[in-house]
Amino acid sequence: MPDYKFTIVVEQDEDGFYVASVPLLQGCYTQGATYEEALENIKDAIKLHIEARKLLGEPIPVEVAIDEVKVVV
């Protein structure tokens, strides 16, 4: 089984829950009561997302580059 590496984004919502998403995998997101729980949950969500793509014969996206942009407003 190949290893996959994805960038995730974790934000805290107004209720205090941590919401984790994978920008490269559209619709792949989850939440947790703690940051650590959100990290574990997103790993499960990624696995399920990849399994579903494989069953449908869809390719697994690969990140080309990861960078940050600083904007002054």
With respect to CATH, is domain 9-55 assigned 1.20.1420.30?
A: no
Evaluate whether 49 touches 40 at the Cβ level (below 8 Å): no
Average pLDDT estimate for 3-12: 95
What digits encode the pLDDT tens for the residues 52-65? 999 999 999 998 88
Which tens digits make up the pLDDT trace of 14-37?
999 999 999 999 999 999 999 999
pLDDT at 1 over 80: no
Domain boundaries, the chain: 9-55
Q: Is the pLDDT of residue 48 over 90?
A: yes
* Side-chain-side CA neighbours of residue 9 (13 Å): 13
What backbone phi and psi angles, to 5 degrees, belong to 8?
-120, 155
pTM: 0.87
